[in-house]
Amino acid sequence: MEKFAVKTSKQLEFVDITSSVQAIVLKSGILSGMCTVFVPHTTAGITINENADPSVRADIIKELDKIVPHDDGYAHAEGNSAAHIKASMMGFSQNIIIDAGNLALGTWQGIYFAEFDGPRTRKVFVKIIKD
């Protein structure tokens, strides 16, 4: 297992971590298998989505804010319930197939660290499993 840090600069932010994950895959030397990307945080998540047009990330954040507004009378005393809910909706891990030593992502896909309670420095774990 490998891990790396992601430093976010906003309360809500999607950070493209595709190249960091791909570097770990290449370093492993595994040509065929599975890559799991996991975040050990309750107010952040991992998702795969378009990485060609940054407005897609902005649109996702905008719509998540409509569905789960920051202030909505939540009972959680820390004031970050919306971040917990958004992280649960996004999920805390993604599995990506490794083919010929590369992540088998679609042409327009990228892996994103989804920050919902930043800015912070976060951890990302990557586990490579050989076929």
Residue 88 pLDDT: 98
Residue 118 pLDDT: 98
Burial of 126 (0-12, 13-18, 19+ CB in 10 A): buried
pLDDT less than 50: residues of the chain: none
Residue 98 pLDDT: 98
**Interatomic CA distance for residues 47 and 55, integer angstroms:** 16
Residue 93 pLDDT: 98
Question: What is the domain partition of the chain in residue ranges?
Answer: 2-130
Quote the CATH superfamily of domain 2-130.
YjbQ-like (2.60.120.460)
